[in-house]
Amino acid sequence: MNRPTTRVAALAAGVLLLAGCGGFRGAYSLNLPGGADLGDDPYSVTVQFLDVLDLVPQSGVRVADVPVGRVDEIELNEDWTAEVTLTVNGDVELPENAVAMIQQSSLLGEKYVELAAPGTEQPQGRLADGALIPLERTNRNVEVEELLGALSLVLNGGGLAQLTTITRELGEAMEGREDAIRDTLDELDVLVGGLDEQKTEINRALDSANALAETLAGRTATIETALDTIGPGLDVINEQRGLLVSMLESLDRLGDVGTRIIDQSAANTVEDLRLLQPILTQLAAAGPDLAGSLDLLLTYPFPASTVVGDGSGGDVPLNFRQDQRTGGYGLFANMTATLDLDLTQTLCRYVVDPLSGALETLSPEQLLGNACGRPGSAPANQGVGSTGATPGGGTPGATGASPLSILPGEIVGQLPTAESLGGLLGFPLFAGGQP
């Protein structure tokens, strides 16, 4: 076997040997010079990105711009997100909630993965082997191509070419209207100043609106119930629409009739009111007397003041007297009177002639000692004795007791007691025939 054949066989054997190893990945399996030092105990970290741009395996991994690892593998997930496997030096300590970002070393330089502690929250725990940094904690920088594309869009299709036209049209629109524009700006300044002065009230109104919104939010169930319930009600109103329209039309006709009646009877109504004015005036003048007469109406013939007590528990104004013999009563109010019913004292000046039967009146000199009219004196016609003395010549009382003797029973004043009250409108309730 010649020398070239031997070299080819050796190279083929080496390739087969390398292909038989499962970890061989071509050129990516070769350690390149100038890479990061992974140390004796590196650990693996998986990072998820929405877009890895042109990041490739063997790209660097940095912390604070210091190389600490490399990118081992980049895969595409089923949800079209990229999953990057990193190998990091074991001496590098990162928090468990670390963040990752794809950066670029220069404007046209290589891409690398930057690991850092979170900037918006406190670091927690420690990033361990097999840890996962999810999408919400990853990002990427802006590509130069994207920046140039956005700038091109603004310059070419973003409307910059129309700025000249816009400026020219504004100038033509404002030409000759400088004073009006100046006044408008002054009024706008006043408006803004007024709003600034009223900012406290505006804030209070906004707070009230916020409170109202919170109240409505707290009563969502009630509002939903009301909205659900109002539907059947609207259906009923819709069904009764014909009746409602008919009612409104009837009210319209009633209004027309009422207006016509008022227009036709306006003069007569005014005249009736004018004629009624004197009557109302007299009624108003007699108002106090009319009210007083109504007070007497329920207690006639006694005024209410005589049948109603004074409210202090004292005497009742209505008085009465009781005859001790017959039990009869006499009512009186606001007065006290003493009646002398001894007719012997009243008729002592009158005598009857026994011969002619004529009624004669005695002169004062014919009276015995001027005793007529005094208590206990007999009438003149009782002074005639059995001897036929002339009238007035007998001894008073010589023939016995007078037939007009004093009436039995003495009228005494009494006031109603608690047992006698209870009659209608304050009258005492009498029991007739009591001694």
pLDDT per position as a tens digit, 255-299: 999 999 988 888 888 888 889 999 888 888 887 777 777 777 766
- Please, which pLDDT band fits residue 205 given cuts at 50, 70 and 90? very high
Residue 15 in this model has a pLDDT that exceeds 70: no
DSSP letter string, 389-410: PPTT-SPTTTT-S-TTPPPSS-
Which tens digits make up the pLDDT trace of 215-242? 999 899 888 888 888 888 888 888 898 9
Q: Give 9 or 386, the one with higher predicted confidence.
A: 9
Q: Give 309 or 402, the one with higher predicted confidence.
A: 309
Residue whose C-alpha is closest to residue 112's, from 102, 123, 126, 100: 102
Kindly list the strands in the beta sheet with 329-333, ordered across the sheet, starting from the edge strand earlier in the chain: 329-333, 318-323, 411-414
pLDDT of residue 381: 46
C-alpha span between 66 and 110 (Å, rounded): 15
Six token digits for residue 30: 């070769």
Residue 389 in this model has a pLDDT that exceeds 50: no
3-state secondary structure the chain: CCHHHHHHHHHHHHHHHHHCCCCCCHHHHCCCCCCCCCCCCCEEEEEEECCCCCCCCCCEEEECCEEEEEEEEEEECCCCCEEEEEEECCCCCCCCCCEEEEEECCCCCCEEEEEECCCCCCCCCCCCCCEEECHHHEEECCCHHHHHHHHHHHHHHCCHHHHHHHHHHHHHHHCCCHHHHHHHHHHHHHHHHHHHHCHHHHHHHHHHHHHHHHHHHHCHHHHHHHHHHHHHHHHHHHHCHHHHHHHHHHHHHHHHHHHHHHHHHHHHHHHHHHHHHHHHHHHHHCHHHHHHHHHHHCCCCCCHHHHCCCCCCCCCCEEEEEECCCCCEEEEECCCCCCCCCHHHHCCCEEECCCCCCEEECCHHHCCCCCCCCCCCCCHHHCCCCCCCCCCCCCCCCCCCCCCCCCCCCEEEECCCCCCCCCHHHCCCCCCCCC
Query: Mean pLDDT over residues 96-101, rounded?
Result: 93
Q: Where do runs of H (alpha helix) occur along 140-219?
A: 144-157, 163-174, 178-197, 199-218
Q: Give 120 or 335, the one with higher predicted confidence.
A: 120
Query: Mean pLDDT over residues 26-45, rounded?
Result: 72
262 alpha-carbon distance from chain centroid? 42
Q: Give 63 or 310, the one with higher predicted confidence.
A: 63
Cα diameter, the chain? 221
Query: Mean pLDDT over residues 37-60, rounded?
Result: 90
Residue whose entry in the numeric block shows the structure tokens 């504004």: 170
Six token digits for residue 288: 């106090």
Distances (CA, A) of 406 to 46, 253, 396, 399, 403: 144, 89, 16, 17, 9
Residue 410 in this model has a pLDDT that exceeds 90: no
pLDDT of residue 149: 78
Alpha carbon dihedral 182, 187, 192, 195, in 10-degree steps, equals 180
Six token digits for residue 126: 């420690």
List phi, psi (to 5°) of 165: -65, -45
C-alpha span between 63 and 100 (Å, rounded): 10
List phi, psi (to 5°) of 412: -120, 150
Alpha carbon dihedral 26, 30, 36, 42, in 10-degree steps, equals 80
C-alpha span between 397 and 412 (Å, rounded): 29
According to DSSP, residue 328 is labeled -
In the chain, DSSP finds a helix count (H) and a strand count (E) of 10, 13
Which tens digits make up the pLDDT trace of 305-324? 665 555 555 555 556 666 66
Six token digits for residue 39: 């140390």
pLDDT of residue 399: 40
Please check whether residue 133 is in contact with residue 48, taking contact to mean a CB–CB distance below 8 angstroms: yes
Percent of the chain scoring above 70 in pLDDT? 61
Residue 45 in this model has a pLDDT that exceeds 70: yes
> What type of residue sits at position 193?
G
Query: Mean pLDDT over residues 132-148, rounded?
Result: 86
Query: Mean pLDDT over residues 7-18, rounded?
Result: 55
Query: Could you count the other beta carbons within 10 Å of the beta carbon of residue 340?
Result: 9
Residue 22 in this model has a pLDDT that exceeds 60: no
Residue whose entry in the numeric block shows the structure tokens 């026994």: 354
